Structure 1
Amino acid sequence: MTHTAIVLAAGRSSRMGTLKGLLPWQGTTLFEHQLQNLRESVFSDIVVVLGYKAEEFIPIAKKYPIKIIINEHCHDGKCSSIISGLKAADKSSKTILITSVDQPLQSLTVNRLADTLTKCHCLIAVPSHQGKRGHPILFSSQLRNDLLSIKEERMGLRYLIQEHEKFLLEVPVENDQIHLNLNSQADYIDALKNN
């Protein structure tokens, strides 16, 4: 059974003021942290979507057996990167994980999501810690066409999640990092203090 992970690393990181993916994180960079954890997980089909300053990420990405996609339209927003990644994904995959470079994940968490979604036959699995939802979000491949039609003006993934809320399963995990969103220098500094 194939599981796909799409890693979004195409943005300009304008709020951070520097490329988020290249920030130090747990002995490596945020970008490589995502790739290492996915390589240690059940997600064998890994698609990385690059855009802004892609050349900075390509040497790191090439160390891993992954697909590298350059989204020429990354300035149009995150939806365009998700769609670019999805088009390159293995069409036989059972699940599709969507994660951003600034949301550090752990292989244990994503494995739990994949295992749960496969067994429960729901459409979306979201990790939760102490009753609060986090990321990354895992979608059943049954939603592939819905994912291919997401639009920024319709709130992207949020719209899709709302549409299928009754088929969404919250998966409790012992990992508070699912709430991390490293958008600004302050977010990043706070996260480093707690890791």
Structure 2
Amino acid sequence: MAHTAILLAAGQSSRMGTLKGLLPWQGTTLFEHQLQNLRESVFSEIVVVLGYEAEKFLPTGKNYSAKIIINEHYQNGKCSSIIAGVSAAGKSTETILITSVDQPLQSAVTNKLAAALTKRPGLVAVPIHQGKRGHPILFSSQLRNDLLSIKEERMGLRHVIQENEKFLLEVPVENGQIHLNLNNQADYINALKK
């Protein structure tokens, strides 16, 4: 079964004040941490969407045999990067994982999502810990066209999830890291303390 992971790393990290992907994380950088965990997962195709200062990430992305996409329109928002990534995903893929460089992954969680969506009927799988949903989010490739038509003004991925709520699988995980979202320096410093 083919699974595709899309790693979004095109933004300017303006709220963080420095490139998020290059921040130290668990002995490496956030960007490399994400790639390592994806390589250790069931996701056979890794699509990396770069934009702002892409040249700083290219060598690492190539080391992981990722399919590198440069989003020239990254200033238009995250939806433009998601569309670029989904467009590059292999046509035979059965699931599409969408994750951001500032949401640290664990391969055990991504594998659990993939297993849930392939074994049970559903179109979207999200991890849940202590009653709260987190990320990353896994979509069935049946939603490819929906993902390709997302818009910032319609809340992007949130719109796709809401439209398919009755086909959504909540996948319980033991890891509270699914709630991490490193938007700014305070988020990052707090996460390092955990």
Q: TM-score range by the shorter chain?
A: over 0.9
Aligned length: 194
Aligned counterparts of 1:193 and 1:65: Cα–Cα separation in 2: 32
Q: Which segments of 5 or more consecutive residues in structure 2 lack a partner in the other structure?
A: none
How far 1:59 sits from its partner (Å)? 1.2
Aligned counterparts of 1:84 and 1:32: Cα–Cα separation in 2: 21
Amino acid at match of 1:27: G
Amino acid at match of 1:53: E
How far 1:121 sits from its partner (Å)? 1.8
Instruction: Show the counterpart of 2:72.
Output: 72
Moved over 4 A (4+): none
Aligned counterparts of 1:76 and 1:11: Cα–Cα separation in 2: 10
Aligned counterparts of 1:91 and 1:27: Cα–Cα separation in 2: 35
Instruction: Show the counterpart of 1:131.
Output: 131
Aligned counterparts of 1:41 and 1:161: Cα–Cα separation in 2: 23
Instruction: Show the counterpart of 2:9.
Output: 9
Aligned counterparts of 2:173 and 2:166: Cα–Cα separation in 1: 20
Instruction: Show the counterpart of 2:28.
Output: 28
Instruction: Show the counterpart of 2:153.
Output: 153
TM-score scaled to structure 1, two decimals?
0.99
Aligned counterparts of 2:66 and 2:58: Cα–Cα separation in 1: 11
How far 1:62 sits from its partner (Å)? 1.2
SS at match of 1:62: helix
Q: RMSD in angstroms over aligned alpha carbons?
A: 0.5
The 5 Å alignment of 1:47-66 reads 47-66=47-66
Aligned counterparts of 1:146 and 1:86: Cα–Cα separation in 2: 10
Amino acid at match of 1:133: R
- CA deviation map 1:12-63 (0-9, x unaligned): 0000000000000000000000000000000011000000000110111111
Aligned counterparts of 2:87 and 2:121: Cα–Cα separation in 1: 23
Aligned counterparts of 1:190 and 1:153: Cα–Cα separation in 2: 31
The 5 Å alignment of 1:156-167 reads 156-167=156-167
1:190 aligns with 2:190: yes
How far 1:65 sits from its partner (Å)? 1.1
TM-score scaled to structure 2, two decimals?
0.99
Amino acid at match of 1:105: L
- CA deviation map 1:53-101 (0-9, x unaligned): 0011011111111100000000000000000011111111110000000
SS at match of 1:169: strand
Q: Which segments of 5 or more consecutive residues in structure 1 lack a partner in the other structure?
A: none
Out of 58-67 and 177-186, give the one that drifted further: 58-67
Instruction: Show the counterpart of 2:97.
Output: 97
Identity %: 80
Aligned counterparts of 2:147 and 2:87: Cα–Cα separation in 1: 10
